[in-house]
Amino acid sequence: MSKKILPLVLGAAMGVAASTAASATTLEDVKAKGFIQCGVSQGLPGFSNPDAQGNWTGLDVDLCRAMAAAVFGDASAVKFTPLSAKERFTALQSGEVDVLSRNTTWTMSRDTQLGLNFAGVNYYDGQGFMVRKDLGVTSALELSGASVCTNTGTTTELNVADYFRANNMPYEIVAFEKADEVVAAYDAGRCDVYTTDASGLYAQRLKLTNPGDHMVLPEIISKEPLGPVVRQGDDEWFNIAKWTLNAMINAEELGVTSENVDEMKSSDNPSIKRMLGVEGAFGESIGLSNDWAYNVLKNVGNYEETFNANVGPDTPLGISRGVNALWSNGGFLYAPPIR
């Protein structure tokens, strides 16, 4: 008899194992494992890029570190998963990563059809074109007949098709899986034009043999609001991602930095008091401790600090704030108040 029972028991056990889907919330999962798994790019200087020691740095990386600081009070409680443009949404949907902070454009189809939520915008970008200076081209409208190198599976591939079609210009698209191969092919002269988000163009130009021989054309042909993405249906985790970013932007507006955050705790400004958890219980309302924003600012810094450290004018990328300045300075950054 025992011979017959064994397979049945095994089968039943398998069935039970397969049908118990993970039902814990992302925050519980993250707390249980002790770190946040963060999906980043495979190497985009200024946004998410590993240095020689394998430490990840960049604007997108800092957002993940800030979330880790908000949850654990420790900005190093985060592990990074480099993802190609093609893999990124599947990795998030399947739970392989907890948050995707990978220069990902917020579009309606991604927001509504993929079971994902965009938690805000941490960089307002737009698609641009880079060409060799010796082509003598000064405008993207002169690119008729060009061959264009880009990444597969990105909004850039669609935008470039729209742009050339709208302006009735023939073109040839060469689409690679990885950014490094796009750069290599463009550098070898396979294409006349390299197109991606303008921030990416500045970053990738550093990898070319002679960066000085190339120029970025003035046209920006698309809106590319880049931001962190989480799974749909877990509002608690969505709130944490959203308000971590908002706290960093609000802190810049209120003049709270990683250096003065301790003094600011005794500030008379009620907005600062609420943000740093001296007044109210805003941390508890998103399932965290009340000093969540204090931890973010102490460990990572406000938006201005991460921007300047990673992509700002003093870095090799040399990107000015432009539209990514605060609303009060003529930019787009506008975070809802913490109250």
| DSSP 3-state of 284 | helix
d(CA 147, CA 159): 15
In the range 124-143, which residues lie near another protein by CB under 8 A?
A: 134-137, 142-143
CB of 30 to another protein, least distance (A): 18
Q: Which stretch, 53-61, 185-193, 196-204, 280-288, contacts another protein (CB under 8 A)?
A: 185-193
Nearer to another protein, 16 or 32 (CB): 16
198 sits in which H/E element: helix 198-205
Please identify, using beta-carbon distances, which residue of 33 and 165 lies nearer to another protein: 165
Q: Which of residues 58-117 bind another protein (CB under 8 A)?
A: 85-86, 89-90, 93, 109-110, 113-115
Closer Cβ to another protein, 19 or 53, answer by number: 19
Residue closest to 197 by CA, chosen among 229, 163, 157, 167: 157
Residue owning tokens 């991602």: 241
* Biggest CA pair distance of the chain: 85
Which C-beta is closer to another protein: that of 137 or that of 247? 137
Q: Whose Cβ is closer to another protein: residue 117's or residue 324's?
A: 117
Is residue 322 within 8 Å of 199, Cβ to Cβ? Answer: no
Who's near 328: CB < 8 A, 6+ residues apart?
253
Taking CB under 8 A as the criterion, the residue among 77, 174, 317, 323 binding another protein is: 174
> Residue 19, interface with another protein (CB under 8 A)?
yes
Residue 88 C-beta: closest distance to another protein, Å: 8
Please report, for residues 11, 16, 50, 56, 138, the alpha-carbon distance to residue 187 in angstroms, rounded to integers and kept in the order given.
57, 55, 22, 26, 19
147 binds another protein (CB under 8 A): yes
Q: For residue 336, what is the DSSP state?
A: P
Q: HSE-up of 125 (CA within 13 Å, CB side)?
A: 30
Asked if 168 touches another protein (CB under 8 A), the answer is no
**Left (φ > 0), alpha (ψ -120 to 50) or beta: where does 73 sit?**
left
Binding-site member from 29, 157, 219, 279 for another protein (CB under 8 A) = 157
* Closer residue to another protein (CB): 52 or 108: 108
Structural element, H or E, at residue 225: strand 224-226
Tell me the window of 151-159, 264-272, 288-296, 297-305 that interacts with another protein (CB under 8 A): 151-159
Enumerate residues 6+ apart whose C-beta is below 8 A from 277. Answer: 283, 289, 290, 291, 292, 293, 294
Amino acid at 77: A
- CB 255, min distance to another protein, A: 40
Per-residue binding letters, 24-63, with another protein (x by CB under 8 A)? ----------------------------------------
- 236 is a site residue for another protein (CB under 8 A): no
Residues in contact with another protein by the rule CB under 8 A: 7, 11, 14-15, 18-19, 21, 85-86, 89-90, 93, 109-110, 113-115, 134-137, 142-147, 149, 152-154, 157-158, 160-162, 165, 170-178, 181, 184-185, 188-190, 192, 231-233
